[in-house]
Amino acid sequence: MSGPSSPAIAAADPTAPPAGPPPLLVVEDLVKRFGSRKGTLTAVDGVSFDLEAGRTLGLVGESGCGKSTTARLILRLLEPTAGTVRYRGRDLTALRSAEMRLVRRELGIVFQDPYASLSWRSCSSPTTWQWCATSVTGWL
């Protein structure tokens, strides 16, 4: 029986994401602006994402769109103009340099070398063998 002193039972919100462990990496509204005598260049503008443990994230985009800058901002190899980066619940943007060096031991960036990617000289799996066979025709 429900009365003024009994707790109410609320129905679960069907639009709410399922409860689970907190994200491993949370990036919120990350911004990087570079200033020069000619003006200001906005290299990264409002990037936000969550990355769960056990998942992989790839930043994909045109040349010069801010992929590498975003990665450097996450590791604080560049200082963000605005935004926050939290790793395992810690705000990386608030850490001192010595603390950040310790955190970097757990994080890393894999920069893609466009000249080595899917090179016909390094076909090492059936997936890339098919690519090499179709792409290299006429190169030899």
- Chain-centre distance for alpha carbon 98: 22
pLDDT for residue 132 is more than 50: no
CB atoms within 10 A of CB 94: 11
**Structure token digits, residue 137:** 């025709």
Predicted local confidence at residue 76, as pLDDT: 94
**Structure token digits, residue 87:** 């790793």
Predicted local confidence at residue 138, as pLDDT: 46
Across the range 37-57, mean pLDDT stands at: 91
**Structure token digits, residue 92:** 């990386």
Across the range 36-55, mean pLDDT stands at: 92
Across the range 31-50, mean pLDDT stands at: 93
Residue type, 9: I
**To which H or E segment does residue 97 belong?**
helix 97-104
Strand-pair partners of 41: 34
Give pLDDT tens digits for 58-71: 888 888 889 999 99
pLDDT for residue 32 is more than 80: yes
Predicted local confidence at residue 136, as pLDDT: 46
Q: With H, G, I as helix, E, B as strand and everything else as coil, classify residue 67.
A: helix
Q: What is the mean pLDDT of the chain?
A: 78
Question: End-to-end alpha-carbon separation of the chain, Å?
Answer: 83
pLDDT for residue 75 is more than 70: yes
pLDDT for residue 26 is more than 90: yes
pLDDT for residue 134 is more than 50: no
